[in-house]
């Protein structure tokens, strides 16, 4: 697939904890990259995160009072933004950290209540309800059960190539939420 330069699109990967969202994303990313797509991932967490190491300059600068720190290296750069008080970040704030002009697709893990197009990950064995029964933004469900009573297409959670093809089709046909850039 040729990347679409008509703007960056967004697809949420929604499901309950332990459903396999990260595992599926890890399988999808190389498949979508092989199609020439420029990708980013925004992953929501409820936990405090630390990507730096005590004693390193960037860690010390952050803890000395820098509210935004960029660690710029030859292969990757890391932006850390300190919040004045603990609070849940919004999807919009998280997307604003990205240069969406250099992307075709942002895959969002978490933020399941946001009104954006989504692929639901569902494992009936976990005993959680289907999100698609009340979320009109869900385009399909990826599951490990061959038949579920849903009004959207079903994909085999263990066959990421088919899911990647569907995502490419959704992107090509403009079915995914557009990200303002």
Q: What is the pLDDT of residues 47-63, one digit of tens each?
A: 566 677 788 888 888 87
Between 30 and 4, where is the model more confident? 30
2 occurs within a structural domain:
no
Q: What is the pLDDT of residue 6?
A: 56
- What pLDDT is recorded for position 76? 86
| 108 lies in the same domain as 156 | yes
Average pLDDT, the chain: 89
Same domain, 95 and 38: yes
Domain that holds residue 166: 9-46+88-178
Query: What is the pLDDT averaged over residues 62-76?
Result: 84
Q: What is the pLDDT of residues 82-117, one digit of tens each?
A: 888 888 889 999 999 999 999 999 999 989 999 999
pLDDT of residue 3: 45
2, pLDDT greater than 50: no
Q: What local confidence, expressed as pLDDT, does residue 1 receive? A: 41
24 inside domain:
yes
**Mean per-residue pLDDT for 138-165?**
96
Residue of 2 and 65 predicted with greater confidence: 65
Nearest to 109 by CA among 118, 100, 98: 118
CATH of the domain at 100: 3.40.50.300
Q: How many domains does the chain have?
A: 2
Region 31-60 average pLDDT: 84
pTM greater than 0.85 (yes/no)? yes
Higher pLDDT, 11 or 181: 11
Residues 77 and 153 in one domain: no
Do 116 and 142 belong to one domain? yes
Choosing from 85, 112, 143, the residue where a domain stops is 85
């Amino acid at each position: 697939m040729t990347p679409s330069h008509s703007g960056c699109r967004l697809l949420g990967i929604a499901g309950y904890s332990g459903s396999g969202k990260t595992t599926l994303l890890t399988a999808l990313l190389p498949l979508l990259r092989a199609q020439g797509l420029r990708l980013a991932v925004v992953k929501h967490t409820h936990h405090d995160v630390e990507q730096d190491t005590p004693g390193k300059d960037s860690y010390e600068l952050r803890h000395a009072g820098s509210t935004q720190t960029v660690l710029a290296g030859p292969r990757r750069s890391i932006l850390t933004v300190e919040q004045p008080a603990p609070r849940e970040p919004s999807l919009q704030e998280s997307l604003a950290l990205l240069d969406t002009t250099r992307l075709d697709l942002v895959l969002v893990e978490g933020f399941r209540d946001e009104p954006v197009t989504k692929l639901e990950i569902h494992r009936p064995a976990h005993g959680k309800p289907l999100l698609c029964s009340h979320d009109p933004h869900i385009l399909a469900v990826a599951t490990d059960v061959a038949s579920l009573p849903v009004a959207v297409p079903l994909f085999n959670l263990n066959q990421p190539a088919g899911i990647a093809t569907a995502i490419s089709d959704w992107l090509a046909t403009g079915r995914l939420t557009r990200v303002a850039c």
